[in-house]
């Protein structure tokens, strides 16, 4: 059975990132973009990360440019934007393709295994994974980081 922990990607700074290192953590995986109407969600994601990290939670940002070309920058530009605008401290992966031709295997798995299955619809779609790397929730772009439904799902996964 495939889990989040089976994937190895590049971190935004170019180094390797083995998602197996997240074993035991509840993870909120979010495809992000710097020029989207949902971009202000970075603030809420950072707040969630800071508040819940001591309990074994992390956000992981995954830059993607499939929706309205709203993430055109290089990894270096994206990292600088996140650092200066939102003071992001949660892990950020290198930009990948989350939908369509060239879709990364991570997103092939996520969009097949999640309930409901199907393509990512827009930036800031969220996949919640438990400490075993299993998908336990999927939330659309309009579900804000501070929304009660997302918060309840994270709390349930944390135990």
Q: Whose CA is closest to 126, among 113, 141, 136? A: 141
Q: Which residues contact 151 (CB under 8 A, 6 or more apart)?
A: none
Tell me: the pLDDT tens digits for 56-111?
Answer: 999 999 999 999 999 999 999 999 999 999 999 999 999 999 999 999 999 999 99
Report pLDDT for 20: 97
Q: Is the pLDDT of residue 1 over 90?
A: no
Q: Whose CA is closest to 20, among 7, 36, 2? A: 7
Tell me: the pLDDT tens digits for 2-49?
Answer: 999 999 999 999 999 999 999 999 999 999 999 999 999 999 999 999
Report pLDDT for 83: 97
Evaluate if pTM is beyond 0.75.
yes
Q: Whose CA is closest to 20, among 135, 133, 106? A: 133
List the catalytic residues. Answer: 36
93 Cα distance to chain centroid: 9
Which residue(s) pair with 28 in the sheet?
A: 59, 128
Contact (CB, 8 A) for 138 and 128? yes
Report pLDDT for 85: 97
Query: Domains in the chain, start-ordered, CATH in brackets?
Result: 4-158 (3.40.30.10)
Residue 102 in 3-state DSSP?
coil
Q: Whose CA is closest to 32, among 7, 11, 62, 5? A: 62
85 Cα distance to chain centroid: 18
Euclidean distance between CA atoms 157 and 153, whole angstroms: 6
């Amino acid at each position: 059975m495939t889990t989040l922990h089976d994937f190895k990607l590049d971190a935004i700074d170019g180094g390797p990132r083995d998602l197996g290192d997240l074993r035991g953590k509840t993870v909120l995986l979010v495809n992000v973009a710097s020029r989207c109407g949902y971009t202000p969600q970075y603030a809420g994601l950072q707040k969630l990360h800071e508040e819940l990290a001591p309990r074994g939670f992390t956000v992981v940002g995954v830059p993607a440019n499939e929706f309205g070309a709203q993430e055109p920058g290089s990894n270096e530009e994206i990292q600088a934007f996140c650092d200066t605008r939102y003071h992001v401290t949660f892990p950020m992966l290198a930009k990948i393709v989350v939908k369509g031709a060239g879709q990364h295997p991570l997103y092939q798995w996520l969009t097949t295994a999640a309930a409901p299955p199907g393509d990512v619809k827009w930036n800031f779609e969220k996949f919640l994974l438990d400490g075993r790397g299993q998908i336990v929730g999927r939330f659309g772009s309009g579900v804000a980081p501070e929304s009660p439904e997302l918060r309840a799902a994270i709390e349930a996964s944390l135990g």
